[in-house]
Amino acid sequence: MADKHSPLSQFEIKTLVPIRLGETDISFTNSALVMVIAVVLVVLFLTIGSRRPALVPGRLQSMAELAYEFVGNLIRDTVGNEGRRYFPIIFTVFMFVLFGNLLGMVPYSFTFTSHIIVTFAMALVVFIAVTILGFVKHGMHFFSFFVPPGVSKVMWPLLIPIEILSYLSRPISLSVRLFANMLAGHTLLKVFAGFVPALGVAGVLPLAFVSALTGLEIVIAFLQAYVFAILTCLYINDALHLH
């Protein structure tokens, strides 16, 4: 019973359709289900939103255009015009994370962005892609990225490892930020929600707090998707223009 009401039980992975591929467990879980729902919703949102384009957009079209323009502006502001061709990946990442975060706000659903392995996999894809991009654009010159300009050569043996570590820490900070925000927020919601029945009449206080916190969580859902997207843009920008 205590198990069922633990504030952490919401993050439990449950196998829905057990699938085994040789030794590997590739079962279809509740996490995978929510991911599929997120992808389907994004596709529906964008296709229905752009089905009957009107000069004066309706609600859904307006939202779809807003999302498109938001990411477009983000890329223009951070990367500049040559960032335009990376629009698909950034838009995909943004919408996937955003819908994952927002779906997590639906009661009884599951927040797949609250699992470090999910966010880390996404961050690693971004990181590897950006590194490859840097090598494609600059070849071996890419390594000059790690040499701080205007520093005497004596300091290089110390500073270059630091720069490399700093570069390698990117996927971790990118993924941990998203995961920690989601995990902490949802746990907090559950903890305070648990106070409501426990306190009887005084439970209105935590109830009010939980209501406010839900609003905050929705803001954070948007914000973290935005942060993930903008950091991806910044990394692409770094790979395109070395110093």
Partner 1 sequence: MSESDKPGALQDLDARLRRLKAQEHPPERAGSPASRSGYGFAMRLGVEIVAALIVGAGIGILLDQWLGTGPWLLIAFFVLGAAAGMMNVYRVVRGIGGAVGYRAGGSGPDQGQRSGGPGGTKPAGRRPPDDDEDA
Binding residues vs partner 1 (CB under 8 A): 55-56, 70, 73-74, 77-80, 145-146, 148-150, 161-163, 165-170, 172-173, 176-177, 180-181, 219, 222-223, 226-227, 230-231, 234-235, 237-238, 241-243
Q: Is 191 in contact with 119 (CB distance < 8 Å)?
A: no
Name residue 196's amino acid: V
79: which 2 tokens? 């990367």
Q: Is 137 in contact with 240 (CB distance < 8 Å)?
A: yes
Q: What is d(CA 59, CA 69) in angstroms, rounded to the nearest whole number?
A: 15
* 55: phi then psi, degrees, rounded to nearest 5: -65, -40
Q: Is 231 in contact with 224 (CB distance < 8 Å)?
A: no
11: which 2 tokens? 């993050």
Min CB(145)–partner 1 separation in Å: 6
Q: Which is nearer to partner 1, 124 or 196 (CB)?
A: 124
Min CB(12)–partner 1 separation in Å: 25
Q: Which is nearer to partner 1, 35 or 183 (CB)?
A: 183
151: which 2 tokens? 């520093």
3-state SS class at 21: strand
Min CB(19)–partner 1 separation in Å: 32
Q: Which is nearer to partner 1, 161 or 197 (CB)?
A: 161
Min CB(176)–partner 1 separation in Å: 5
Distance from CA of residue 209 to its chain's centroid? 26
Min CB(18)–partner 1 separation in Å: 33
Min CB(68)–partner 1 separation in Å: 14
Q: Which is nearer to partner 1, 19 or 165 (CB)?
A: 165
Q: What is d(CA 48, CA 204) in angstroms, rounded to the nearest whole number?
A: 41
